[in-house]
């Protein structure tokens, strides 16, 4: 009987050891599952942040051959022909931007007096053209200030027509 009791006691001890081993294995498995879930969660959240942290230009959408929609909904003209430097008399027009937002098309440009003489105040009109050279619309009444040689100013003209899809434009002096 004594041997039987010892055998039973040994079985019980072995069972307790096995239970401890099983508990330790279970705890290790649970630990790794928690780490795996946290890692996957982190990667998913980080992927969403990568999308929202892109520079604004990368979020913009090109919707037409010459139009890009900015994040705020503004249409921006991206025609390289429209952005080319233009000349009118002794003035050079560059850094040209054409946008349409809140019911208005706005053209902005830098104007530089490239001559050795002072220029007089000049009224101008801009004629927007399609790719075939056909007139889309025009803006009258732009004013370019008097400029000393080498001086610059900004041309800022607006119209309530959407002309953001223009391919090019011409600028002409309005004779009085």
CATH number at residue 150: 2.60.40
Residue that finishes a domain, picked among 12, 27, 53: 53
Are residues 129 and 109 part of one domain? yes
* Beta partners for residue 157, in sequence order: 107
Point out the residues of the chain with pLDDT beneath 50.
56-58
Contact 164, 106 (CB under 8 A): no
pLDDT reported for residue 135? 95
The whole domain housing 125 covers 61-173
pLDDT digits (tens, 9 = 90+) for 61-91: 766 788 999 999 999 999 999 999 999 999 9
Cα 5 to Cα 1, 11, 12, 87, distances in angstroms:
6, 10, 10, 110
- State the total domains in the chain: 2
Report how far residue 2's alpha carbon sits from residue 22's, in angstroms, rounded to the nearest whole number: 30
Are residues 65 and 32 part of one domain? no
């Amino acid at each position: 009987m004594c041997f039987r009791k010892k055998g039973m006691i040994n079985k019980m001890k072995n069972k307790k050891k096995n239970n401890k081993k099983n508990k330790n294995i279970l705890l290790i498995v649970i630990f790794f599952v928690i780490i795996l879930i946290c890692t996957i969660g982190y990667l998913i959240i980080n992927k969403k942040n990568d999308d929202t942290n892109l520079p604004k230009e990368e979020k913009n959408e090109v919707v037409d051959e010459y139009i890009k929609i900015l994040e705020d909904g503004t249409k921006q003209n991206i025609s390289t022909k429209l952005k080319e430097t233009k000349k009118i008399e002794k003035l050079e027009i560059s850094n040209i931007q054409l946008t349409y937002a809140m019911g208005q098309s706005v053209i902005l440009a830098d104007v530089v007096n490239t001559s050795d003489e002072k220029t007089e105040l000049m009224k101008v009109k801009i004629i927007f053209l399609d790719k075939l050279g056909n007139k889309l619309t025009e803006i009258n009444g732009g004013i370019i200030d008097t400029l000393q040689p080498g001086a610059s100013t900004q041309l800022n003209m607006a119209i309530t027509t959407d002309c953001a899809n223009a391919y090019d434009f011409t600028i002409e002096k309005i004779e009085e």
